[in-house]
Amino acid sequence: MLFLLAYTQDNHYGTIQLGSKNSMLSGASLSRWVDQTAVIYNPATMLQATTRGITFNTAAGSIDNIKIENALGQKNDITSSSFQSLTGLIAGDFKPLSRKGKTAVGYALYHRMRDVLRTNSQFSQQVDLLPEWEAAGQETLLQSYSVNNETDEMAAAVGWAYRINKDFSIGISQQFIYRSANYNEYFSASVIADPAVNPLVPVVSSTSNVMLRYYTVLGQTRLSAAWQHGPWDAGLIITTPSYGLYRYGNMAADIRLFNILIDSLNARKSFVANAYVDKGRPVWRYPFSVGLGLSRRFSKVQVSGSATWYAPQERYVVLDPSESEFVQPPSSANVLYTKDFLQVWGINRQVVNAAVSADWTLSQKTSLLFGFRTNRHFSDTLYNVPGFQLAKKLWDVYHVTAGVQMEALRNRWIVGVEYMHGQEDKYRMPYSFLGAAESNFLRGTPPRGKVWQNGLMLMLSFTFNLGQNPD
C-alpha cells in the first residue's frame, strides 16, 4: 500500500502567485500595479494605484494528482489525488495625504507557502541473497519505506515608494518570513532465511529512522523601480539574499545494520548510530534575484511579460549533527558514521522563470484575465555527497490561468482557475525495492521513473475600496 500527498512547493520559487488578479496574470505586477500585492512584488508600482483598498484572498481549493511510473521498481506505479485549501492573504496600500501623492506605503500579511509530502509503502519478495553455505535456498525480503515532509511559511511585508518624476518611481520593501519544517524518513529491510534449512545466518537487517524539525526567521529586502510612458510600463526588482534573524532545530536518528557483510573477506558485523541533536543552528537560504517586467496596452488588451533570474547557490549545510557520541563502535571506521549520514544540505541551481499575460477589458466593470508561466525547480540531487536534502519534487511545473474580474459598488471580485502540469522522464526515488544487496545496505538500486503532475486550483479574492487616492 502506498499513499502520496503533494501540495504546492518544496523545490520551486513561484508555485504560488499572491493576489488573485496577480495570480491570474502570472506575475504581471513586476511592470505595473494590478492589486495590493504590489508591496510584495514591486513596491515602486504602489504609486500607480488610483484607489485605496484592502484585498483579501479567500480559502479556495486545489485538486492535485501525481503519477510516478516505476517509482520503487517492480514496475509499480504511484498514483494519488488530493484536495487542499490554498493560502490566504490580506494586503493594502495607500498614499499619505500630507505628501501630495509623491509617496505611498503598503503592507501585507500572508501565508507564503505550504508543502506536504507523505509516502508509505511495503513490499515482500523471494530472493536468493545470502550465500548457500549460510542459508540454503531462497530467503524472504521484507522492505518498508515512509516519508513525511511538511514545510510551512508565513510572512509579513511593509513597503514604501517615492515618485522621482511623472514617469519614474522607486520603492523598497522588507519581508519577514517564518519558516518551519518537520521531516521524518523511515526505511527498513530484513532478509529472513527459512528456519527449515537451519541457516547459520537467520536474519540480516537494515533500518534507518531520521526525524528533523527546525524553525527559522528570515529577512529579505527588495529594491525596485517602475517606469510609465504612454501605453508602456516597465518594472525592475532586485532582491537581496535572505539573512537569518532567528533559528532553532533538533534532530533524532537511529540507524542500525544487523549481521551485515560489507566485505566478503571479513566477518559479518553489526553497527548502530543513534544520535540526538538539540538546539541546533539550522540555515535556510533564498538567493539573490533580479526581475524585469514589461507591458503595453493595445486598445482593450493589456499584454505583459516578465522574467526573473535566481542566482545559484553552492551546496551548504542546513543542519549539521556534528560528532555523535552514540556511534557504536565509536569510530569513523563505523560504516554508519553519523556525521556523514545525517548532515542535511541544500543546493540551488541557476533558474530563470518567465511569464506572459493578457488583461482584456470587456466593459467598464468587467475584464477577462489570462496568463502562462514557467516554474522550474532549483535543487540538484548529488548522489555521491554524504547526508541528504529535504527537497523531493525535482521536476519543472507550468501554469495556465484564466479568470474574470468584476466590479460592483466600487468593490472588486475575481474568480478564476489555474491549471498546472509537471513532467520528468528520469525521476529517481531515494530507495528501491529492486536490486537490494548487502553492499547497498538492502536499500536497492533506485530506478528512473516517469513523473506526471496535474493540478487544478480555484482562485477567489475580494478588494474593498476605501476611496480615491490623492493626486
Q: What is the DSSP secondary-structure string of 181-221?
A: EEEEEEEEEEEE--GGG--S--EEEEEEEEEEEEEEEEEEE
* Residue-level pLDDT at 1: 25
CB–CB of 114/153 below 8 Å? yes
Tens-level pLDDT at each residue, the chain (471 residues): 222 333 345 678 876 666 667 777 876 778 998 888 888 889 999 888 876 777 766 545 556 666 666 555 555 555 554 555 555 677 777 776 545 668 989 888 888 877 777 777 788 889 999 989 999 999 999 988 888 888 888 899 999 999 999 899 999 999 999 999 999 989 999 999 999 999 999 999 999 998 999 999 999 999 999 999 999 999 999 999 999 999 998 888 888 899 988 776 678 888 887 778 887 888 889 999 999 999 999 999 999 999 999 999 998 888 877 655 555 555 666 666 666 677 888 889 999 999 999 999 999 889 999 999 998 988 877 777 777 788 777 888 899 999 998 887 777 788 888 888 888 887 777 777 778 888 888 888 776 777 777 888 777 777 776 655 555
C-alpha cell at 410: 466600487
* CA-based nearest residue to 39, from 104, 107, 88: 107
- List the domain range (segments joined by +) for residue 109: 5-468
Residue 97: count other Cβ atoms within 10 Å of its Cβ.
9
* Residue-level pLDDT at 415: 85
Residue 383: count other Cβ atoms within 10 Å of its Cβ.
7
CB–CB of 310/380 below 8 Å? no
Q: In the 8-state DSSP scheme, what is residue 44?
A: G
3-class DSSP assignment, residue 23 = helix
CB–CB of 90/108 below 8 Å? yes
Ranges of H-type helices in 32-100 = 38-41
CB–CB of 221/173 below 8 Å? yes
* Residue-level pLDDT at 25: 82
Residue 275 identity (one-letter amino acid): A
What CATH number has the domain bearing residue 414? 2.40.160.60
User: What is the spatial distance between Cα 189 and Cα 202, in angstroms, rounded to a whole number?
Assistant: 14
* Residue-level pLDDT at 461: 75
* Residue-level pLDDT at 7: 34
Convert 261-300 to b/e letters by CB count within 10 Å (16 or more is b).
beeeeeeeeebebbbebeebebbbebbebebebbbebeee
User: What is the spatial distance between Cα 185 and Cα 120, in angstroms, rounded to a whole number?
Assistant: 10
* CA-based nearest residue to 202, from 212, 211, 192, 210: 192
User: What is the spatial distance between Cα 456 and Cα 398, in angstroms, rounded to a whole number?
Assistant: 12
| CA 70 from centroid of its chain's CA atoms | 24
* CA-based nearest residue to 399, from 415, 425, 376: 376
Distance separating the N- and C-terminal Cα atoms of the chain: 64
Residue 28 identity (one-letter amino acid): A
User: Contacts by 262-270 with C-beta closer than 8 Å and gap 24+?
Assistant: 262/335, 262/438, 262/439, 268/201, 268/204
Report the chain's C-alpha Rg in angstroms: 26
User: What is the spatial distance between Cα 326 and Cα 337, in angstroms, rounded to a whole number?
Assistant: 10
Domains contained in the chain, number: 1
Phi and psi at 161, nearest 5°, equal -130, 150
* Residue-level pLDDT at 3: 27
User: What is the spatial distance between Cα 434 and Cα 416, in angstroms, rounded to a whole number?
Assistant: 44
